[in-house]
Amino acid sequence: MSSIPPIKLTEDDILYTAERMPLPITAMPKKLAKFVATVSKALRCPPDYVLAGALASCSIGIGATRKLELRQDWQEQANLFIGIVAPPSTKKTPLMKFTMKPVWSTDEYNERVYQDKLKAYSIQMKEREEALEWNKRNPKKEPKPVAAEEPVAPTETILEVSDITTEALYDIFIENPRGVIGVHDELTSLFDSQGQYKGGKGGDAQFYMSAHSGVLQPRGRKDKRTRRKECFLTLIGNITPDKLTERYKNRPLDGEIDRFLLLYPREPKAEMVQVDDTPVVTPEAKSYYSHLFESMYKMNFEGKDENGKPLAKIIKLNREAAMIFNYYEGNLLSLMQEPDVPAFMRGVYGKLIGYTGRLALILHYIRLYSGEAVQEDTLDAETMNMALHLVQYFKSHAEFVHKAVRVSDDDAVKKKAMLHIRDRGTEGQETISANGSAKGTTMAIKDLYDALNVPKKKVMPVLGELIAEGWGMYVKIPFKDRKRMREGFMLFDQQIEQDTGEVYEEMASARGW
What's the pLDDT score for residue 381? 95
Q: Are residues 364 and 465 in the same domain?
A: no
The model's pTM is 0.75
What's the pLDDT score for residue 199? 52
Q: 461 or 500: whose pLDDT is higher?
A: 461
Alpha carbon 235 to its chain's center: 7
What's the pLDDT score for residue 198? 52
In the predicted model, is pLDDT for residue 268 greater than 70?
no
What's the pLDDT score for residue 509? 39
Residue 342, domain member (yes or no): yes
Residue 248, domain member (yes or no): yes
In the predicted model, is pLDDT for residue 426 greater than 80?
yes
Residue finishing a domain among 349, 378, 406: 406
Average pLDDT (302-321) is: 93
Residue finishing a domain among 406, 440, 470: 406
Average pLDDT (328-341) is: 88
How far, in Å, are 236, 356, 369 from residue 321 at the CA level? 28, 11, 20
In the predicted model, is pLDDT for residue 106 greater than 60?
yes
In the predicted model, is pLDDT for residue 223 greater than 80?
no
Q: Are residues 450 and 354 in the same domain?
A: no
Q: Are residues 36 and 60 in the same domain?
A: yes
DSSP codes of every residue in 386-441: HHHHHHHHHHHHHHHHHHHHHSSTHHHHHHHHHHHHHHHSEEEEEEEETTEEEEEE
Q: Are residues 444 and 477 in the same domain?
A: yes
Q: Are residues 443 and 395 in the same domain?
A: no
In the predicted model, is pLDDT for residue 405 greater than 80?
no
Q: Which of 399, 397, 417 is nearest to 84 (CA)?
A: 397
Of the candidate ranges 96-105, 191-200, 232-241, the one whose mean pLDDT is the lowest = 191-200
Of the candidate ranges 110-114, 150-154, 370-374, 476-480, the one whose mean pLDDT is the lowest = 476-480
What's the pLDDT score for residue 185? 87
Average pLDDT of the chain, as a whole number: 83
Q: Are residues 396 and 416 in the same domain?
A: no
Residue 152, domain member (yes or no): no
Q: Are residues 345 and 429 in the same domain?
A: no
Residue 452, domain member (yes or no): yes
345-387 confidence digits (pLDDT tens): 889 999 999 999 999 999 999 999 999 988 999 999 999 999 9
CATH of the domain at 463: 1.10.10.10
In the predicted model, is pLDDT for residue 333 greater than 80?
yes
Residue 2, domain member (yes or no): no
Structural domain range at position 421: 410-510
| Confidence category of residue 167, pLDDT binned at 50, 70, 90 | confident
Residue 252, domain member (yes or no): yes
430-455 confidence digits (pLDDT tens): 776 555 677 888 899 888 888 888 78
Alpha-carbon distance of 267 to 49, in angstroms, equals: 11
SS3 per-residue string spanning 146-208: CCCCCCCCCCCCCCEECCCCHHHHHHHHHHCCCCEEEEECCHHHHHHHCCCCCCCCCCHHHHH
In the predicted model, is pLDDT for residue 214 greater than 70?
yes
Of the candidate ranges 274-278, 395-399, 454-458, the one whose mean pLDDT is the lowest = 274-278
For residue 255, the number of C-alpha atoms closer than 13 Å in the C-beta half-sphere is: 12
Structurally, how many domains does the chain consist of?
2
Residue 136, domain member (yes or no): no
Q: Are residues 399 and 429 in the same domain?
A: no
Q: Are residues 26 and 53 in the same domain?
A: yes
Alpha-carbon distance of 201 to 218, in angstroms, equals: 18
In the predicted model, is pLDDT for residue 298 greater than 60?
yes
Q: Are residues 387 and 248 in the same domain?
A: yes
CB 318 within 8 A of CB 375: no
| Confidence category of residue 343, pLDDT binned at 50, 70, 90 | confident
Instruction: Write b or e for each residue in 61-77: b if 16 or more Cβ atoms lie within 10 A of its Cβ, otherwise e.
Output: bbbbbbbbbbeeeebbb
Q: Are residues 359 and 258 in the same domain?
A: yes
Residue finishing a domain among 374, 406, 438: 406
In the predicted model, is pLDDT for residue 63 greater than 60?
yes
Q: Are residues 327 and 195 in the same domain?
A: yes
DSSP 3-state helix, strand, coil percentages of the chain (rounded to 5)? 50, 15, 35
Alpha carbon 12 to its chain's center: 26
Of the candidate ranges 122-126, 316-320, 450-454, 483-487, the one whose mean pLDDT is the lowest = 450-454
Residue 32, domain member (yes or no): yes
Average pLDDT (283-305) is: 95
